[in-house]
Structure 1
Amino acid sequence: MTKQAINGGEAQTTRVVYLAAFVIALGGLLFGYNATVIAGAILFIKIQFSLSPFLEETVIGASLVGALIGAALGGTLADRFGRRQILFVIAVIFFLGAFASALAPNLVSVAIGRGMVGVAIGMVSVVATLYLAEIAPDRVRGRLIGIYMTANMVGVVCGYLVELAFDTSGNWRWMLGFPAIIAVPFAIGVRALPETPRWCVCNNRLDHARAALRRLHDTHNVEEQMGRIQADVGTQVGSWAGLLRKDVRPALIIGIGLGILQRVTGISIAFFYGPTIFGFAGMETVSLDILAGVGVGMALLVGQFASMLLVDHVGRRPLLLWGYAGMVCGLVPLGLAFATGGESLLIQGMAVGGVMLLAGAWAAGPASVTFLLIAELYPQQIRGPAMSVATMAIWASFLLVTFSFLTIMEKFGPAITFWSYALLAGFALVAVFFGVPETKGKSLEEISSSLKRQN
């Protein structure tokens, strides 16, 4: 069995831990694919069902509303029934939602299927990182969650590539139904994984916790870890009421703040305005929307891969700071390009380079590190509800930006809009510098204790 050399009583990184990371990564793949593929499928759904703009927004918004509901439910259900059990339920919902979307006989059925997929997306965005954070050895926790987030970005790219493959035929049913195939090995793999030791301790299943620790970390000396986990559990009040505790408040504020800033600092430009920017640069093809999406998706993937490699070496704070600084550096020239017009190759290059830098910097910092931090910051007994609240902030912000972005663009123009987002990214940079703690290499119990002492 492969292990990493460690000091003292730290947990070892075994093949079981990495197997778990790759199984959970299938959930990230489903997340990224389903969140992306609707952008291409809706072009053909709109034609088949003769959709008005309102109905088109309703179909697209169904998954976002579902994600908000799923995020609200995910943490509570994972606390009640266990992380592994809810991950299996998520896989089943992904399968049923994709299957229902592909076979939908009418528009209502499409919206219901997409809503189910959205619920699964919202739940997996909470429970996947929650599971990985609770099984991971402290010094590779960022890398393991980074594997999940990288798979998320791979899913984004796959979504655009599948759209490109079916662009000629317009077969939106295959686009929406493809994830059902991935959901099957995800469900099977989850059933083979152990429950997290921390959840077992929290629910007084101590023998199960010891067995899980031995399986995950390949050691018989588990009592030190058990004692550390039990001490953290024993000092907390469980349930949603625990979120109101004074000693929890700083972590809750940080988590919600990071969630909001992750979505309101301009990434919607890359997702929604990328095709226009590529067109501004002189690209004019029938498949422009999808081709632009592939370019943005590759920038996201490169940024996330870099984050996965660096997060356990340089830390969480530096990646967040570099990420937001990179977003500012992408947004400022992007606004300048639109303010001055596209009459030269230099200006056009600034536009395309700006949106690619924006996407890559977001993926390297805010996208990945935010989900990691909200899985690390909270004490054991309120971790599920607290992560739900922080993740709901992400999805609520995404909804707000989705339904306001084009209106703001129309009212103020692209240049002012981009520069406004640059100011928000600059504010996020300052907020992270002064308000976000470093968690690299610390146990979950050490992180929560440290935040309590700072209160």
Structure 2
Amino acid sequence: MNASSTPAATPPAGTATGTSSTAPTGVREVVRSAADVNRILAVHGSRGTKSKAIILLALGGIFMDAYDFSSLAFGITAIREQFGLNGFMTGLVNASIMVGAVVGAIFGGVLVDRFGRYKLFMADMVFFVVAAIGCALAPEEWSLIFFRFLMGIGVGLDLPVAMAFLAEFSKLRGSGNRSQRVNAWSPAWYIATGFGYVVVLVCFLLLPIDQHDYLWRIVVGFGAVPAIVVLLVRRKYMAESPQWLADQGDLRGAVDIMRSHHGLDVELDLPAGSRVQKKESGKWKGIAELFSPKYRIRTIVALCVSVFSTFGYNAVAYGTPLIITTLFHQGALTTIVSSLVINLVFGAVGGILGVAIVNRFGARRITLVGFVLQTIAIGTLALVGVPANALVFVAIAMLALFVFAQAGGPGANLMSYATLSYPTRLRGVGIGFNESAKRLFSIVSLLGFPILSTAMSTNVFWLIAIAPLCGALAVALIPWDPTGKDVDAED
């Protein structure tokens, strides 16, 4: 399909128009095609303050995703007691956000490629605000399940567009490249999770004991506050991705944003009457293309990394409070502090380390090492069983090792595989499909873990250890590494 080179439509709020923005001195780059846009951004990436603000806002969206996912983790025990839930209903409350995430991801991936990153990015925070307030006020389990489902839709919509922004507002290689920026989602996720436990700890210490039943409601409802802040700030700084605009045939709009947000000295040079080729994107058939000969291997290994890392994460990291309270027989304060330290220290540090070393070692090698460490950690937990005395510290240390390996290895790089394996026109579809598949397995683990842990106690860790072991085998056998690959140039 062709699109004539007509003046660009009115850019979104926060996007400068025209070419009057002050650009840095140096060699002026000329744009004649979408390939030129990709080439220039691959070299220069985000140079302007506004472009870096978009990176921070994308990470802010991920912060909200993580907070909303984890905000109910500590309170699930209290919810089970207050609402009189059995193992299945407890798992359903946990998994409802994943069901929503499946719906949001599969539609969000297609919509973000069809209508652009900006529009979807501006819309998804509404889900977080409404859902957080609804969860906090839920009178019984089915209302809670419904609003958790809405929250999941918001997460599913947000992740494909956030990942697309992190990739498309970054350069290909060097410091601050696409692999590092995409992997930065991991420390953002664990910092948000740790922040959630800080809120839990503060409320736990300040509230009278007879009001601790309200603790989970306060923590969940608090998620609406940063969501509103992020939504308001986004309106000021966000702009559309120049790579997506170029793929849509809007080279003029792409050049404007490259000048206003990237700080690049670029000039549009199109002969009169020329036509710009528009790449087909945002179609359901894009999912089928993920399994075409060109992308099949990439899609398979991306799914393996996502599915096997997420299965273990949701059972262990997301279920940390349940494990420490129910399987390790520890009190509320020990559970809160242990969960906080595991996420805010070991998770965040592991994620930051993964960002720092991905350029040197590549996503594939780091992911493989992470899966191996996770297998060792879960195997040790299975051997320890119900810990007593000093073994309690060993068991909690293994949970910390698991989260550390997840944050720096497969947990970080699952987004690299899903985001950086496909060109701009397929990026949203690729992320959305990967996310929806990942969340389906998350539902299985969240529904199954409370039931299996009740029936098998600590022997459940033997089953969980199979997931990282399979992940290590898949990465070892499939030699695809998305680090530093210019997939748009391939396209």
Same fold (TM over 0.5): yes
Instruction: Tell me the distance in 1 between the aligned counterparts of 2:373 and 2:104.
Output: 31
Instruction: Determine helix, strand or coil for the equivalent of 1:294.
Output: helix
Q: Which residue of 1 aligns with 2:68?
A: 34
Q: TM-score, normalised by structure 1?
A: 0.85
2:121 counterpart residue number: 87
Tell me by how many angstroms 1:52 deviates.
Answer: 5.1
- Is the 2:115–2:282 contact (alpha carbons within 8 Å) kept by the matching residues of 1? no
1:157·1:297 contact (CA, 8 Å) conserved in 2? yes
CA deviation string 1:11-62 (max 9, x = no partner): 2432333211111121111111111111233444445545455544443332
Measured after TM superposition, the shift of residue 216 of structure 1 is 3.8
Q: Say which of 102, 124, 147 aligns to 1:68.
A: 102
Deviation at 1:253, TM superposition (A): 1.9
In structure 2, what is the Cα distance between the partners aligned to 1:163 and 1:424?
30
Query: What is the aligned partner in structure 2 of residue 125 from structure 1?
Result: 159
Q: Does structure 1 residue 331 correspond to structure 2 residue 364?
A: no
Structure 2 counterpart of 1:187? 231
Deviates more, 1:63-72 or 1:419-428: 419-428
Q: Which amino acid is the alignment partner of residue 193 of structure 2? A: V
Q: CA deviation at 1:126?
A: 2.0
Distance in 2 separating the partners of 1:403 and 1:179: 24
AA aligned opposite 1:388: G
Alpha-carbon distance in structure 2 between the residues aligned to 1:145 and 1:350: 32
Find the structure with the greater CA-based Rg: 2
**What residue is the counterpart of 1:218 in the other structure?**
263
Q: Distance in 1 between matches of 2:295 and 2:267?
A: 28
Choose the corresponding residue for 2:134, options 96, 100, 106. 100
What's the % identity of the aligned pairs? 22
Letter in 2 for 1:76: V
Q: What is the one-letter code of the residue matched to 2:481?
A: E
Equivalent of 1:303 in 334, 347, 350: 350
Please identify which structure carries the higher helix content. Answer: 1
Q: 1:354 to 1:45 in 2, by over 3 A?
A: closer
Mapped partners of 2:372, 2:147: distance in 1: 39
Q: Is the 8 A contact 1:76 1:385 kept in 2?
A: yes
Mapped to 2, the partners of 1:264 and 1:222 lie a distance apart of 48
Residue aligning to 2:50: 16
Deviation of the 1:360 alpha carbon? 0.7
Q: What residue number does 1:453 align with?
A: none
State the one-letter code of the partner of 1:382.
L
Show structure 2 runs of 5+ residues with no match.
Answer: 1-21, 28-38, 270-274
**Partner residue, 1:434:** 477
- Check the 8 A contact 1:94/1:120 in 2, yes or no: yes
Contact 2:45 2:169 in 1 (8 A): no
Residue among 309, 316, 340 paired with 1:294: 340
The answer as to whether partners of 1:274 and 1:296 remain within 8 angstroms in 2 is no
Q: Show CA shifts across 1:108-155 (max 9, x none).
A: 433332221111112222221122112211121122223333222111
Following superposition, the deviation at residue 363 of structure 1 comes to 0.9
Any residues of structure 2 matched to 1:349-368 within 5 Å, and which?
349-368=393-412
When residues 37 and 31 of structure 1 are mapped into structure 2, their CA distance, relative to the original with a 3 A threshold, is same
Alignment of 1:31-430 (within 5 A): 31-46=65-80, 48-51=82-85, 53-139=87-173, 140-167=177-204, 168=207, 169-170=211-212, 171=214, 172-191=216-235, 192-221=237-266, 234=279, 239-245=283-289, 246=292, 247-265=294-312, 268-273=315-320, 276-277=323-324, 284-298=330-344, 299-338=346-385, 342=387, 345=390, 347-409=391-453, 414-415=458-459, 417-430=460-473
Query: 2:218, 2:470 → 1: CA distance?
Result: 42
Query: Does the CA-based 8 Å contact 2:55-2:165 persist in structure 1?
Result: no
2 CA distance for matches of 1:223 and 1:442? Answer: 26
Q: Which residue identity does 1:308 align to in structure 2? A: V
Following the alignment from structure 2 to structure 1, what is the Cα–Cα distance between the partners of residues 444 and 90? Answer: 17
Give the Cα–Cα distance (whole angstroms) in 2 for the partners of residues 316 and 333 of structure 1. 26
The answer on whether the counterparts of 2:95 and 2:447 sit within 8 Å (CA) in structure 1 is no
Q: Could you tell which deviates more after superposition, 268-277 or 186-195?
A: 268-277
The CA deviation at 1:348 is: 4.0
Change (3 A) 1:350 1:106: closer
Contact 1:97/1:113 (<8 A) preserved: yes
C-alpha separation in 2, matches of 1:272 and 1:96: 25
Moved more, 262-271 or 190-199: 262-271
For structure 1, the 5+ residue unaligned runs are 225-229, 450-455
Partners of 1:424 and 1:43 lie apart in 2 by 26
The equivalences for 1:438-453 within 5 A come to 438-446=481-489
Count residues with an aligned counterpart.
435
Mean Cα displacement is larger for which, 168-177 or 68-77?
A: 168-177
Which amino acid is the alignment partner of residue 400 of structure 2? M
The answer to whether the 8 Å contact 1:22/1:147 transfers is no
Q: Secondary structure at the match of 1:138?
A: coil
Structure 1 405/214 Cα, relative in aligned 2: closer, same or farther at 3 Å? same
CA distance in 1, matches of 2:255, 2:320: 51
- Residues 33, 156 of structure 1: 8 Å contact kept: yes
**How far does the alpha carbon of each residue in 1:387-441 deviate from its partner, in whole angstroms, 9 at most, with x for none?**
21111111111111112224444555534x4344434323322321231422323
Q: Aligned-pair distance for 1:385?
A: 1.9
Q: State which drifts further: 269-278 or 22-31.
A: 269-278
State the shift of 1:275 in Å.
5.2
* Contact 2:184–2:351 (8 Å) recurs in 1: no
Residue 103 of structure 1, CA deviation: 3.7
> How far off is 1:200 after superposition?
0.8
Q: How far apart are residue 361 of structure 1 and its match?
A: 0.3
Of structures 1 and 2, the one with the larger relative CO (CA 8 A, separation 6+) is: 2
Distance 1:222 1:352, change over 3 A: farther
**Separation in structure 2 between the aligned mates of residue 331 and residue 47 of structure 1, nearest angstrom:** 28
Q: Kindly tell me: are residues 221 and 249 of structure 1, through their superposed partners in 2, closer, same or farther at Cα, counting changes over 3 Å?
A: same
Q: Secondary structure at the match of 1:271?
A: coil
Aligned partners of 2:167 and 2:182 also within 8 Å: yes
Distance change >3 Å, CA 232–CA 159, structure 1 → 2 = farther
